[in-house]
Amino acid sequence: MTDGPWHCRHRLAVDGLIAAAFVLLDTGLTLTGATWWPDRPDTLAWVLLGLQALACASLVVRRAAPLTVVGVLGAFTLVVSLLVEPLDLLTPAHPGGVWAPLATLPAAYGPIFYQHDRRTAYFALAAFTLVVMRPWEPSVTTMTIGLLRTAVGPLLALYFDTRRTLMRALVERAERAERERHLLAEQARAEERARLAGEMHDVVTHRVSLMVLQAGALKVTASDDTTRQAAEDLRAAGCQALEELRDLVGILRTAPEGDGTPSVAGFSDLVAESVAVGIPTELIEEGDPALASPVVGRTAYRVLREALTNVRKHAPGARVKVSVRYDQARMRLTVHNTPPVGTPRGELAGTGSGLGIANLHRRIELVRGTLRAEPCSDGGFSVEATLPAFVPTAESEV
């Protein structure tokens, strides 16, 4: 089962790679004299280089503790700045540069994108920016580069956060529109049922009532007992038909309570039934069945039931393999049987309407899926249904 791209499923590994990359990058830049490295490095310089590597390595927790990462890099930058000026314990080979590591770029991104308290994030980034810019040592170049170091990350974070919020809103709007479409369709069906019930009641009741009245009149005016008895039987049958018609109209006017067809949880029962009647059947499921919405699960259950029924009818002695795969986007059901080892019995093969696969095609099209049923090169037969994982219905809201 795949829950998304690799970088989304292994976020800690991605952050570890980012941290390692910036450790190597900042260490290399420092040793080449691009930042605070002195011409003649002493013990203090090598200690600071190790501390810088540790500070850059803190990027590995940039999602879980973004303010901590900013604090660690800010503290290291402040220590280097104080050692250079006013303590004069460190003399960079190129004075006037930016002492902050390049790791400040991804570090400044974290508080805005991952921190829920934006006020604290803005305060921490403001202090971080002051440390990196060093306004107590006025230099246009240093202050400009320092500002860019700490401003690019938050700006990108604001952009991606806004984009994420917008995408979530669009997805929710699309799902809401889909649910509303299904509700409107259900309402239209209910109204059509009520209209048909009314028309049936008006037309049929009128005609049957006339039959009952005419039978009653015939009973009164008939001259012999046989005719009167036949008229009475006809009148009684008409009255009974009216009673049954009222019950039927009541059913049509009432919305159905729901589809009692089992869902994906019933796959094992279908397989067990096939095994019990002598058809070796194997069920292989991959992924989480909960990803399939109720209507998709019931549709897949019908597909499997029809496929196993056809195997019993037309492929005696065949072995069956049922493969089901669930993921966030779709559900795929494959039923493959080996060639039959005997001749199908005519009385069993001839049962049914012969429209099972055609009816399944229509059902699957309603949920925007696809169905393929065809012979295989090994002489067997394969039925493959691909369904969307989620089809919103009223049940989905419960």
The number of residues in the chain equals: 398
Q: Does 2 have pLDDT greater than 50?
A: no
CA torsion 51-52-57-59 (nearest 10°) is 130
Question: Which of 269, 279, 270 shows the shortest CA–CA distance to 320?
Answer: 279
Q: What is the pairing mode between strands 370-375 and 330-337?
A: unpaired
The answer to whether the predicted template modeling score (pTM) of the entire model surpasses 0.85 is no
- Across 2-8, average pLDDT: 56
Please give the CATH superfamily to which domain 264-397 belongs.
Histidine kinase-like ATPase, C-terminal domain (3.30.565.10)
> Tell me, what's the pLDDT at 14?
83
Residue 86's alpha-carbon distances to 89, 133, 262, 283, in angstroms, are 9, 16, 77, 75
Is the pLDDT score of 224 beyond 70?
Answer: yes
How many of the other CB atoms lie within 10 Å of CB of 160?
Answer: 13
What is each CA distance from 1 to 122, 159, 283, in whole angstroms? 39, 31, 17
pLDDT digits (tens, 9 = 90+) for 256-311: 555 566 888 889 988 888 888 788 999 999 988 888 888 888 888 888 888 888 88
Q: How far is 63 from 47, CA to CA, in rounded Å?
A: 27
How far apart are alpha carbons 140 and 149 in whole angstroms? 14
What pLDDT, on the 0 to 100 scale, is given for residue 351? Answer: 44
Judge contact between 328 and 291, C-beta under 8 A: yes
- Label residues 142-159 b or e (16+ Cβ within 10 Å = b): bbeebeebbeebbebbee
CA distance 94 to 100: 14
Those residues whose C-beta lies under 8 Å from the C-beta of residue 322, and which sit 6 or more positions away, are 267, 271, 281, 282, 283, 284, 304, 333, 334, 335
Residue with tokens 């001839």: 350
pLDDT digits over 327-382, tens only?
888 899 999 999 988 776 554 444 444 566 777 887 788 778 899 988 988 888 99
Phi and psi at residue 138, in whole multiples of 5°?
-55, 120
Burial of 37 per CB tally in 10 Å (0-12, 13-18, 19+): buried
